[in-house]
Amino acid sequence: MAEYLYDGTYDGFLTCLYRHFAQEPATNIAISNAYQLSFSSVPVPVETRKKEASYMYEILIRHLGQQSSKDIYYGFLSQVHGWEKVTLSFIDLCFKEGSRFKDAHSHDRVFPFDSLVRKVKMEVHRYQGFVRFRSWGDCLYAKIHPDHFILPAIKNHFADRYANEKIIIHDDNRDLALIAQDGKSILVPFSGDLLSEEVPEDPFIHLWQQYVKTIAIESRINPKLQRQFVPLKYRQDLVEMDPPTDFHPPSRDPKKSSL
């Protein structure tokens, strides 16, 4: 049987799905540059076709509904090795046995898919609250280290919330950045090396750190409970989790003083 190879884009995956149902069924779908040769299947490179991808997307919505179709996209955003096979198995089940199986959460072909999607959704939810910006020139800059490729899932949230600002959210794990301004956003390649200068110390960071320290009641500090709400992996990007540092505002030139 065939094993379809695609270019790593979501349209490419949907094109493979279209071929799977319209032409020859596939045993698996895999990214071309990460494919490992198997003696049990024949690799078939599939060219991404926007028209076929769009048609397959409409079929998924019609058969599985809006939410499950969105969940399939979240599976793509997981970037977990083998997500394609897990997702293909889930879709095959729902198409062959009926869409009602999408809610059979304990089924051995549904549970792995649900678990995968749940992890991505949780990370999206947390990063909508755990992104910390600092001033950099005329824009706001933030660096994040997500496990999954979540920038496409959070772009509308931040573009709408900071519609009057210029923002950059830098995914340091993937050398990509979400750049948003005036409610519009775009994803671009972005490396820390591209920063023309080091992001300067922001005085508001010191104030925020001092505020968090001041409101804490020492006798009620519970590190175990704190880790449940703010897992350790997020803390490298949360400035308030660092101890307050001494901040010295720049000295003013008396000659330039208005007093």
Q: Is 29 helix (H, G, I), strand (E, B) or coil?
A: strand
The reply to whether 138 and 103 lie within a common domain is no
Confidence of residue 246 (pLDDT cuts 50, 70, 90): very low
Residue 247 has pLDDT above 50, yes or no: no
Average pLDDT, rounded, for the chain: 86
The reply to whether 87 and 187 lie within a common domain is no
Task: Locate 129 and state its tokens.
Answer: 């609250």
Distance CA 194, CA 71 (A): 34
Confidence of residue 179 (pLDDT cuts 50, 70, 90): very high
Domain boundary among 75, 100, 122: 122
| Segments forming the whole domain that contains residue 92 | 2-122
The reply to whether 64 and 51 lie within a common domain is yes
**pLDDT higher at 1 or 94:** 94
Task: Locate 256 and state its tokens.
Answer: 């330039």
Handedness of CA 80, 81, 84, 89 (dihedral sign): negative
DSSP per-residue codes, 69-86: HHHHHHHHHH--TTHHHH
DSSP per-residue codes, 134-191: EEETTEEEEEE--SS--HHHHHHHHHHHTTTS-EEEEETTTTEEEEEETTEEEEEE--
The reply to whether 40 and 78 lie within a common domain is yes
Q: Is 245 helix (H, G, I), strand (E, B) or coil?
A: coil
Confidence of residue 195 (pLDDT cuts 50, 70, 90): low
Residue 194 has pLDDT above 80, yes or no: no
The reply to whether 8 and 115 lie within a common domain is yes
The reply to whether 166 and 189 lie within a common domain is yes
**pLDDT higher at 20 or 221:** 20
The reply to whether 205 and 147 lie within a common domain is no
Domain boundary among 158, 181, 197: 197
Q: Is 243 helix (H, G, I), strand (E, B) or coil?
A: coil
Mean of pLDDT values over 135-147? 90
Total structural domains within the chain? 3
Q: ∠ CA(121), CA(239), CA(220), 5° rounding? A: 85
Cβ neighbors of 105 (< 8 A, separation 6 or more) are 111, 114
Domain boundary among 76, 95, 122: 122
The reply to whether 118 and 9 lie within a common domain is yes
What's the CATH code of the domain at 189? 3.30.1300
- What are the pLDDT digits (tens) for 87-106? 999 999 999 998 888 889 99
Confidence of residue 70 (pLDDT cuts 50, 70, 90): very high
Residue 174 has pLDDT above 60, yes or no: yes
The reply to whether 147 and 163 lie within a common domain is yes
